[in-house]
Structures are given as structure tokens and as C-alpha cells.
Amino acid sequence: MPDKTSNGVQCHEFDTLLSDALDGVLTGVQLDAFHAHTRTCSVCGPLFAEVQAGRNWLKDLTEVEPPASLVTNILASTTGVDTQRLRVNVSASQGASSFSPSWWERAQAHISGAIQPIWGTVRQPRFAMSFGMAFFSLSVALSVLGVKPADLRSISLRPAAIRHTYYNTQARVVRYYENIRFVYEVESRVRELKRNVVPAEAAPAGEKKDHKNDTTQQPEQKQDRNYSQNDTHLILACAPLGPSVFDSLNHDPLNQDSLNLDQRDQDPLNQDLPVVSVTTYRRFV
């Protein structure tokens, strides 16, 4: 735009004055000077005419009516709340002078605000097939396991009943586990292996120590069994030669047996006495 001055108005000021003139802000001398400039200036004159024409064209544009579904769609995509219910709330809140939402409404709004983006994603068609398949798999699995939705109605939720159900289920699981053929076979194998291994390991450590000191080359006598190998083993016994019967009774019979046998030949008093041999059957239980 050339910087030309005519009637006190410069061309570079024309833009500002043009808006003011069209808006009716220019008055008096300023407005006269502006109109005089438009009449004389070859650039600003046609510009003014064009701008005025354009403004008049735009006046023909009336507001368009938004689609009826727009509000519903907006509310569904933001709050996801039923609009009918909201309308009732709006009319109710208009009557009230001051509005204070209850904690329940605030909690609901917070929860719906948090869930809405997730729910919006879930509702996308690309996830629909996945959820369908998951639901189908779950229903097949439940029917295979014998769970019927109708049975859920008859479930008692008393603590005693729940405990009873728990123990019943546990017993059923244990029974089922133990009755599995594979488990049974494994257990029997383990038992068999144990039977084979236990005799070799049975000897205690103390006895092994005695073996080292044993130079007799005799077979080991098991001390935990009876002294006699069987019930018919003979044990020699004789009448005591000591001063009294009580003395002989105080002695250990086993040791007494061996002492009597040894002392019989050495003691001169005993040589004239008749030897009485008594055979006893001793049984150690």
C-alpha cells in the first residue's frame, strides 16, 4: 500500500480506520476525512468497496443448526452418562439456589472419569473379537469343568457353609490326586526303592567301631537279640557252694555259672561234694 496522504488520512492508517468506520466507531471529522480519502485515493477507494461488499456477503450467512445427535454424542464420549437422567438433574439443579454435589455423586463422577477412557478403548471394534474369544474360551472351560451358572444361585454364603465347601473341595482334590495312576505308580516305585536301600544302611555307627577292634574272626553276635540263638539252648547251672544261699542269690546267675565251673576244681572243699548238674531252659523275652 503506497504511503499517500490525502484529506489528512494516510494510506497505512487506512486499515485501522476502515474497521472502525465499518463498525460505526468513526464519527464527526474523522469519518468525513476517511470518506474523503476513499473518494480520492485510487488504492484505498476500491479496497473500501471490496471490504464492504465482503462484509455484506458474510451477513447472508446464517447460523447452521447442529445435528440433533451432537449433544448426545458429546456427552456419551465425555461422561458416558445417560442424558435423560441428566436432564432431570439439570431441571432439579435450576430450582436450587446453591449446588453442592454429594460425595456419592463426586465419587461417581471421578470413577466414571477414570473408567471412561478405558471403556472407550475397550469398545473399539478391534478389541471386540478378542473379548468375544476370551468369553467363548471361558464358557467352554466352565462347561468342561462342570460349572453351571444355575448352580451359583444355590450357593450358601454362610461362613460355616463356605468352610464346609472348602474342606469338601480340598478332600476331593486330594482324592483325585491320589487316584491318578501315574502318582500311584511313582509312589509304589519309591516305596520299593526304599525297601531295597534300608537293610544295607541299617548298621549303626557304634557297631562298626567294634568291628575294627574285633580280631577273633568270629561271626558277630547280635546283642539286641536273645543270648541264646534259640529257645532250646542249654545253660549249665549248679548249686552254690558259698556260705549262704542268699549270697549265691545275690550273684548274677550268668556269672555264677562260669565262676562255679572254674572254682570247682580249685577249691579242695568242693572236691568231695557230689556234683549236681541241673539243666535249665532260660528264655529271655
Residue ranges that bind another protein, judged by CB under 8 A: 15-16, 18-19, 47, 50-55, 57-67, 70-71, 73-75, 77-79, 81, 83, 86-87, 89-90, 93, 99, 101, 105-106, 108-110, 112-113
Nearer to another protein, 111 or 239 (CB): 111
SS3 of residue 69 by DSSP: helix
Nearer to another protein, 33 or 75 (CB): 75
Nearer to another protein, 89 or 228 (CB): 89
Least distance in angstroms from the C-beta of 33 to another protein: 18
Least distance in angstroms from the C-beta of 112 to another protein: 8
Nearer to another protein, 15 or 231 (CB): 15
Nearer to another protein, 100 or 196 (CB): 100
Least distance in angstroms from the C-beta of 59 to another protein: 8
**What is d(CA 69, CA 192) in angstroms, rounded to the nearest whole number?**
80
Least distance in angstroms from the C-beta of 85 to another protein: 9
Task: Using CB atoms within 10 Å of the CB of residue 21, give its burial: 0 to 12 exposed, 13 to 18 middle, 19+ buried.
Answer: buried
What DSSP string describes 193-209?
A: HHHHHTGGG-S-HHHHH
Amino acid found at 210: D
Beta bridge partners of 280: 235
Residue 79, C-beta contacts closer than 8 angstroms, at least 6 positions apart: 109, 112, 113, 116
**What is d(CA 154, CA 140) in angstroms, rounded to the nearest whole number?**
22
Least distance in angstroms from the C-beta of 17 to another protein: 10
